[in-house]
Structure 1
Amino acid sequence: MDYEKLIDEETWNFIRETGRHYPDDTVDLTIDDQRAVYNKMAAAFRKPRAEVVDVTERSVGRVLVRIYEAGDPTRTVMYCHGGGFVVGDLNSHDDVCSEICEQTGYRVVSVDYRLAPEHKHPAQFEDAWTVLDWICETYPGGVVLAGDSAGAMLSACVAHHARGRHEGVLGQVLIYPGLGGDHALPSYREHAQAPMLTLEDVKYYADVRADGTPVENDPTYAPLQDDDFAGLPPTVMFSADCDPLRDDCRVYRDAIHAAGGLAEWINEAGLVHGYLRARHSVGRARDSFERIVLAIEGLGQEIWPYDD
């Protein structure tokens, strides 16, 4: 794959800057050291919150959440951060959540779910489900599920489980998600050595999450393991074209369409996994983030602007 042609110079600068903070061999470190390196990298890219955004924290059962509000929000976004279920926390995606709140006017509830390997599946799902239960009981107006990478997978798992249990889920916005797709899909082969995320990285994080034991036929683990895609909320997915996970979005979209649902897949040309951190420095990432925010806002208003 000729990434020199596919990826523009702005994005290469972002990739190199990420590498200075989070080298490729970070996965060889201990879990604690991986988290420390990841947190420092996230801090290096983090932007300050807008003054209009008020932030509070509280515990929902055993789960810590961070709540972002600006004014008097009528909708809520539940956001699950990425990090392969191994790294990441409330701080790693603080500015993303703050900006979603600022730009949509919606309340954003960020979920500090437990991480592997200390907490194996289904711990992450249980924590996200606990928070969705609480949101639905606490805030009227409905909720949009959102997340990036592993967090996007977690949000989708929650969306599947919410059918018949919570009527207030208005939609889901999934940002470069891994959804449990077959590794024989074209993107896993074409982009096995992609910058920012390789196929070996994908396998590594799955192995840590499941303690080396494959999980099958469990939609609380991966939504593409479900056999029923009917009744899902309207779904918008954003993939990075240069990402082994890309084609999971196509398969998930097609499964939802086949079941009669609404789903839109937007594949961002020339972008790489983790591009949310580039939204202030890379034009393509900035444009994608605008589309992401508009998708969240539209689903919150129960508007479907896409041709299906």
Structure 2
Amino acid sequence: MAADYSKLIDAETWAFIERTNSYYPPDTVDYTVQEQRAIYDRMCREFHSGYPAGVTAGTGPVEDPAGDVQCRVYRRDNPDNAAAVMYLHGGGFILGGLESHDDVCAEICAQTGFDVISVDYRLAPEHKHPAAFNDAMTVFRFLQTRPKPIVLCGDSAGGNLAAAVAHATRGQPNPPIGQVLIYPGLGGNQSEGSYVTHADAPMLTKRDLDFYRAVRTSGGDLSKDYTFAPLRDPDMSGLPPTAIITAECDPLSSDGETYRDRIQEAGGRAWWQEEAGLVHGYLRARHSVAKARDSFTRIVNAVSFLGHKEWPY
């Protein structure tokens, strides 16, 4: 049964949806990728809330024999050196970059005190899978050589990449000490759960997901490729403590629940929070919607807990 969004979504969230749609109309998926990027970038600029006091940022490459990956490093006055955060942005693997989540990363830095390293991974269709994953791994390998342990964090497509890095680095020296995944797409079963109930949700539809998936791939059998879809990994053991936060009104929500269950079944620590009445992309609503503000506090707290190797869940 399809969801009744007139009952699930409150007035504040509807106002956020309408504001988003005024910059990024629901039919944007029908435009060219270049047009989509221009529209998305404009929307992100409109929602940018600036940097909190005491946070500075610098941009430069992480050098690697395979090629350089641009990153932006956020630091706070009087930092907390217990950990650092590697952040991977959302955008369906075709949109976004260092600017799209600039203020989000600055606020995570301000509220945790941790350095935040935002990764400007390559985008499809110019760079098909596994290019984005390879870039994420390049940056993580560099960070493994540094003294601070790493908490992985990402939203949407970035949540997918963060989880893929966590899976790929199990058993290595200096693996991530935690991961915080924000409404991630992890490759769950699209014939059940939220993929059906919320197939036509505001802000993200199953049709959108199908488009992003098709643009990202070059064909071939990806049915067992966990670097493409972490839920396809048959072995969920050895993963770092994991916090997953999803939006109720989002076709991807069931991925969070399934991922939590599978990690727990494998003996790991995982916590899942579904945010009632929220929609995909609600990070941009954290200053205008009370539910999104509360959720962002939970996200920041999860990053802080995992960075201090605490497990309060």
TM-score w.r.t. length of structure 1? 0.97
Structure 2 partner of 1:236: 243
Are 1:67 and 2:73 an aligned pair? yes
Determine which of 249, 253, 273 is the counterpart of 1:266.
273
- Partners of 1:50 and 1:248 lie apart in 2 by 32
- Equivalent residue of 1:127, what SS? helix
Structure 1 partner of 2:20: 18
- Equivalent residue of 1:158, what SS? helix
Deviation at 1:73, TM superposition (A): 3.7
- Partners of 1:101 and 1:186 lie apart in 2 by 34
- Counterpart mapping for 1:215-230 below 5 A: 215-230=222-237
Structure 1 partner of 2:148: 141
Determine which of 137, 159, 165 is the counterpart of 1:158.
165
- Partners of 2:175 and 2:161 lie apart in 1 by 18
Deviation at 1:72, TM superposition (A): 3.5
Structure 2 partner of 1:130: 138
**Code of the aligned partner of 1:78:** M
- Partners of 2:213 and 2:189 lie apart in 1 by 13
Structure 1 partner of 2:121: 113
- Partners of 1:211 and 1:17 lie apart in 2 by 35
Deviation at 1:215, TM superposition (A): 1.7
Are 1:54 and 2:66 an aligned pair? no
- Partners of 2:5 and 2:218 lie apart in 1 by 33
- Counterpart mapping for 1:73-88 below 5 A: 73-74=80-81, 75-88=83-96
Deviations along 1:44-88, one digit per CA (max 9) or x if unpaired, are 001111230111111013100000001344110000000000000
Structure 2 partner of 1:41: 43
TM-score w.r.t. length of structure 2? 0.96
Are 1:250 and 2:257 an aligned pair? yes
Deviations along 1:144-164, one digit per CA (max 9) or x if unpaired, are 000000000000000000101
Consecutive unaligned residues of structure 1, counting only runs of 5 or more, are none
Deviations along 1:238-266, one digit per CA (max 9) or x if unpaired, are 01000000101111111101100000000
Determine which of 64, 89, 98 is the counterpart of 1:90.
98
- Partners of 1:168 and 1:176 lie apart in 2 by 23
**Code of the aligned partner of 1:137:** T
Give yes or no for contact 2:157–2:184 (8 Å, CA) kept in 1.
Answer: yes
- Partners of 1:213 and 1:44 lie apart in 2 by 39
Aligned residues: 305
**RMSD after superposition:** 1.0
Give yes or no for contact 2:80–2:112 (8 Å, CA) kept in 1.
Answer: no
Structure 2 partner of 1:99: 107
Deviation at 1:214, TM superposition (A): 5.3
Which stretches of structure 1, 4 residues or longer, exceed 6 Å deviation after superposition? none
